[in-house]
Structure 1
């Protein structure tokens, strides 16, 4: 026999190849079940699983909002692939610590030489509410009897419920303060929504001053923010500044008590000119805080003089308005005799008329009386006290009073000392003068014998 020669049955081979092609045909990918939507809370982990069958077995890749997932970012994503059988692969995309920015559509793309198939799931992230405004403890000032609003804005998903409450968590029962309507808008970050609600204040009253709370909540969490409302009102001075009367060189004090919100600042004026409080030898000002809305100020004037007489005004001011009240300082001044000088000599001719004036200053206006030197009243009809002539000195309230000693038909017996006596409630004074009645010259002419 010759060498062995293999004999190939062409028909047999054709049948074998036909059989193989019938049992392993190319099949496009099919994804089943579909990728499922996911809802997770912020900070949790989300997973999407995709199971794809095909021949050849499909390759699976992932997309986020049509952009390939950066699977190299292993701190954010992990992808695990499991071969279930010769035609089926399963891939799981895991997203760690999901945030609002991870919200969107995640697409599984299964591909082989035949074709490709896709299935998508939406990731929804529930976000805890966050209050944007106001800040904790923020102060809001509103003028008494006016209107205003304070907005509380919070973000989160699902959109948070925003409610204004009393600071103890109870519902607002005062019709002057109510929660307004919700204003909702997207933030542009994932599905996070912004919700704003105003605390509406109408005709504010002082009793509305206090702490109020913005409470926000959704299915994830809740939070609060406290604010303080201060109802401001203009200064009111009570009691009124009282008039003062002091004797010269004594000390005078004016007290002013003013209430307002904010607590008023008190300043003092003398005849509409600011008191020079830097002159501490003349003035002192003390301020006492009686409570959070009331200040008391006392202006003290040392060693008062006639020049200190006038109107002292308390001016209480805050950001809302101002109030004033005034008191008058009266200074009693001891009488002072201007003329005549002590012991002054006055000469008058016998049987003639004349007058000698006594002028004194003081306050209250002094009484001026001419008397005999022993203090007794004038009883001689030829010498009498004249009428008072009163005028202002131009110095504070000090008054000048003049009274003349009127002499009519002087006689030699009228020669002597006379006294000008002056007095007021502060003190008294006297001044002596000497009157000399000079003899009338008589010429006697004798005739010739």
Structure 2
């Protein structure tokens, strides 16, 4: 009996025991702000049944008002309506069955104005201590961040000739806070697509 089962499997090449293989895909429609696009993820091979999931930046996608998923036996279509720059990111399709899985990823770049990830807020820093403030945004093209300080007019922090204040991209750091560091600060974010982002915040030094 065992010999017969092995022989039968060899004759049939065990075609009923195959892990899935995804057909590489790209957006079916060029992504434009305000428009629509979709991705079709299909298994080239593999044994049914399949479980098909979609992910954006590693997080599973659930159906929302602007995102729809239609899945059949061996293909799944992800549809995005009313595209905005927030839809930019890495999209992955994972097809799995009881014999294994396959994943295919593609980056969707939607040109649009920057949008906030994190706005800086008012800060109180004790005299002589250190602190940092974060100003972060996403978008495509990649946003550029500029830190400002008000000294009668807005000037770049890098031009303030203060070695205690350091700028590293989206992080503004102050070491050994001094009374001269009290004041009004600003964060400007641009990427060549209007509108730009701008926000202001206060830094107060306590214990002076």
Short-chain TM bin: 0.3 to 0.5
Greater share of residues in strand: 1
TM-score by length of 1: 0.24
Task: Work out which of the two has the higher radius of gyration on C-alpha atoms and give 1 or 2.
Answer: 1
More contact order relative to length (CA 8 Å, sep ≥ 6): 2
TM-score by length of 2: 0.47
